[in-house]
Structure 1
């Protein structure tokens, strides 16, 4: 599936788990800037939205609810991502509200979040700059996650992943059988495992429940992780 389908699926998943103000804030708050960040920066880097939470509720230093534009929480790593437009965040007429926003960001740091401000204008004009900065920012955390991964890739899984990086994004079970010289059942078992680990998506044959191929989910850290 492409970005539009995956984005809607991701949003629907979060909506289905929310009620009341948390649901209302998601509907109202995940707007053009947030979607543009996910589409132009996050999706090109990861190819999925696993562990990314829109309009994530946290408490500020007064115990009052506060919604962060996007939070990434893979395991113990926590990043709070705020999309900053020039008008709403710089030309404040309400100085009290502006101070509270800065204090909330400081409190997020105290609570263990890495706070990242993303300029809205860069998302429109130079998203590749934001992509480059995010790759450098997230790389140490991804390596840390990989080092602590409780389910490392097997040798066969690594061979499959290396093949996938050389192909055009899709791979068929028969290709793996022929190229690697392994039993079809072994291929199926390994592909199920890699799907569970978020590296592939099964693609069904049209009008059938049979898996005809797998879509590789690329990550910019692929070469470092295996």
Structure 2
């Protein structure tokens, strides 16, 4: 599946787990800017939306609910992403609301979140800049997480990822058997593991429904984590 299908699946999953105001806020709040962030920045970096939560509810210092555009929580790490448009945030005539927004961001820092403001204009005109900045910001957290869990990929898994990238993203089990010199059962075990880690999607044959190839889910983070 490509981005559009994965985005719908991810959004529907969050909607199915919500009700009341939390559901209404997701329907209203996940707008054009938020969708651009996921498609033009997050998807190119990770290739999936695992651990990314849209319109995430937190309580502010007064105990009132507040919805962050996105929260990313891989393990113990917590990042809060806010998409900032020029008009609403710079020319806001409601000074009380603007002040409360700034205080909420400070409170999020106190609550253990790293708050990241993403310019809306860059999502439209220069998403590659946001990608570069976020990679530099997030890679240390991913490396720390990987170290805590042990090596993220085994040697053979890393070899498969390199082969998939070299073979334009599509890979067949029979090719891995020949290339790596291992038996089919080992290849099947390795591919199941990489599918669970979100690096491949099995592609079944149209008639037999037997998995005959795998689609590689590219991520700019791979070269940092192999």
Normalised to the residue count of structure 2, the TM-score between the two structures is 0.96
Q: Does 1:173 align with 2:173?
A: yes
Tell me the alpha carbon deviations over residues 156-176 of structure 1, each in whole angstroms, 9 at most, x when there is no partner.
222212222222011111110
C-alpha distance in 2 between matches for 1:208 and 1:22: 42
Contact 2:139–2:224 under 8 Å retained in 1? no
Is 1:202 paired with 2:202? yes
Number of matched residues? 226
2:31 maps to what in 1? 31
- 8 Å contact kept, 2:122–2:129: yes
Q: How far did residue 211 of structure 1 move?
A: 1.2
2:102 alignment counterpart: 102
**Residue deviations 1:1-30 (CA, integer Å, cap 9, x gap):** 111111001000101111111111101100
2:142 corresponds in structure 1 to 142
Shift in CA distance, 207/111, structure 1 to aligned 2, threshold 3 Å: farther
Q: Deviations over 1:52-103 (max 9, x none)?
A: 1100011101111100001111001111000001111111111111111000
Task: Note if contact 2:152-2:225 (Cα within 8 Å) is conserved in structure 1.
Answer: no
Q: Does 1:83 align with 2:90?
A: no
State the secondary structure of the residue aligned to 1:203. Answer: strand
Structure 1: distance between partners of 2:222 and 2:32: 30
Q: Does 1:45 align with 2:45?
A: yes
Residues 160-197 of structure 1: per-residue CA shift (max 9 Å, x gap)? 12222222011111110111111111111111111111
Structure 1 residue runs without a partner (length 5+): none
Distance in 1, matches of 2:13 and 2:221, equals: 26
The aligned counterpart of 1:74 is 74
Aligned to 2:49, the other structure's residue is in SS state: coil
Q: Are 2:175 and 1:193 equivalent residues in the alignment? A: no
Bigger drift between 29-38 and 170-179 goes to 170-179
Runs of 4 or more above 6 Å deviation: none
The farther-off stretch of 92-101 and 146-155 is 146-155
In the aligned structure 1, how far is the partner of 2:41 from the partner of 2:155? 31
**2 CA distance for matches of 1:208 and 1:134?**
43
What is the match of residue 22 of structure 1? 22
Matched residue SS, 1:102 = helix
